Amino acid sequence: MKGMSWWTRLAWPALGLAGILAVVVVAPHLGHGREGHVWTERAPGQAPAATAPSPAWVEIARAAKPAVVNVSTRGTREGGPTEELLRDMPGMRELPGRSPRRSVRGLGTGFVINADGYVLTNNHVVANASEIRVKFADGREVPGKVVGGDEKTDLALLKVEATGLPVIPLGDSARLEVGEPVMAVGNPFGLEQTVTTGIVSATGRSIGAGPYDDFIQTDASINPGNSGGPLINARGEAVGVNTAIASGNGGSVGIGFAIPTNMVKPIVAQLAQTGRVTRAWLGVTIQPITKELAASFGLPDTNGALVSSVQENSPAARVGLKQGDVITKYDGRTVARSNDLPRAVAETPVGREVPVEVMRDGKRVALTVKVAQLDDDERQAAAAAEPAGARLGIAARPVTPEMARSLKLPEGQGVLVERVEEGSRAQTAGVAPGDVIVEVNRTPVSSVRTLQAALAKHRAGTPVLLLVNREGQSLYLTVSA
């Protein structure tokens, strides 16, 4: 999948020829049943199937399996198998012929969240499908229709023409404890109704899947084909949607990831109502705060999200948020890590005025931001910047007027990094050829000479703070002394 490295998404697709099956990997979130929700929740006072810490897995599995479905798809793909599919699915081969479009079949998992036929699965399981079939544990197979999907969270809501279906209620994933027992149900490698158990290994995991990463990690065995299946707690509630694994061979090594249901619920509610997800937009690029950055900015710790750039005419710009600010609170919620902020902003109703607290030059500043709607052309600006590393050893030259205009820099500002010495401190820090160094230790740089002068003034033994412009995006880097 695009952007995947050490982790793999969990759907089970196959290309074209009958009998040839190959493995893919992925999964996402939903809500409407009791009290107007798309999903079903356990009624107040209703006894759970079992209560922790002694889960009756036999009873829980017996109750859950009828609500877990096999989701098979048929569609087409532009061109031949993509590089990522070839990498993740050894043995996949092209169909004969020269047609630019290829027939593709896929297999994943889903589960019923509303008795009137709403099924939750991963978006990657059903994306670009021309035909969807949903197969129940009792052997019934019916057509499925996509109500809506969200690529950012990899969730999709399906509808089948059926009523009175067994459901798995969505639980409160915020109550999960590390070490708590959980069960996964799905169709790994096409083996229907497979049940595995394990524990919650960690919560709040970021795996580089996108700006809204907040995964549950589990050692319950999940494999390709489990995408979209439920992760169930000892109360018989779904607390996550199985979506990815960390694996070097495409199979389970005991490190799996599920989307928490508390992230799923607002997404599903929007999909059920409008078929799409609308998110709020602040208009800042942010990055994590390392110990070196905290020291350079005079911060007491590494909590918060460092603003590396503010987009023009954005909600943030209109209220005076500045480059170098550290956002510590958003709408009353503490921003402990930088990736807390994109999720909090995304959950904010568009047009709402939200209190924001920042640290600026050692002082707390309170602002009120009226968030706008995130449009497709603003998504890149809203994504959190990747953290960078830190060392000097570069060759640089002045920025031409043409380059300054293309990067929207004031003319005469910045120097272009032409070469980074192998093994240098700059390379270790993440400085790359093509970067434009705009500031050194919060001092603007306009030429190679001013860059050298700023470095000459730097206090020995402390990290050098650089502000660089990389392909139009600003990024702070710390270079070790």
Task: Indicate which residues carry an active-site annotation.
Answer: 124, 154, 227
Q: Which secondary structure element, helix H or strand E, spans residue 215, and what is its range?
A: strand 215-218
Half-sphere exposure of 338 (CA within 13 A, CB side): 22
Q: Which residues contact 87 (CB under 8 A, 6 or more apart)?
A: none
Is 267 strand, coil or helix?
A: helix
Name the nearest CA neighbour of 451 among 406, 397, 405.
Answer: 397
Q: What is Dmax (Cα atoms) for the chain?
A: 76
Tell me whether strands 7-9 and 372-373 are parallel, antiparallel or unpaired. unpaired
Q: How far apart are CA 386 and CA 306, in angstroms?
A: 11
The DSSP H or E segment spanning 119 is strand 118-122
CA distances from 476 to 44, 293, 308, 471 (A): 50, 8, 6, 14
Residue 115 sits at φ, ψ, to 5 deg, of -65, -15
Task: Give whole-number Cα distances, 232 to 7, 48, 260, in Å.
Answer: 22, 12, 11
d(CA 327, CA 341): 8
- Rounded Cα distance, 331 and 342, in Å: 12
Side chain identity at residue 61, one-letter code:
A
Q: Which residues contact 45 (CB under 8 A, 6 or more apart)?
A: none
How far apart CA 432 and CA 63 sit, in angstroms, is: 55
Gap between the Cα atoms of 466 and 463, Å rounded: 9
| Number of other CB atoms surrounding residue 410 within 10 Å | 10
Asked if residue 299 lies in contact with residue 326, where contact means CB atoms within 8 angstroms, the answer is: yes
Q: Which residues contact 449 (CB under 8 A, 6 or more apart)?
A: none
Question: Which residues have CB under 8 Å from 260's CB, separation 6+?
Answer: 173, 174, 176, 203, 214, 215, 216, 239, 240
Whether the CB-CB separation of 40 and 34 falls below 8 Å is answered with yes
What is the spatial distance between Cα 323 and Cα 343, in angstroms, rounded to a whole number?
Answer: 21
Say if residues 50 and 234 touch (Cβ distance below 8 Å). Answer: yes
In terms of Cβ atoms closer than 10 Å to its own Cβ (0-12, 13-18, 19+), residue 311 is middle
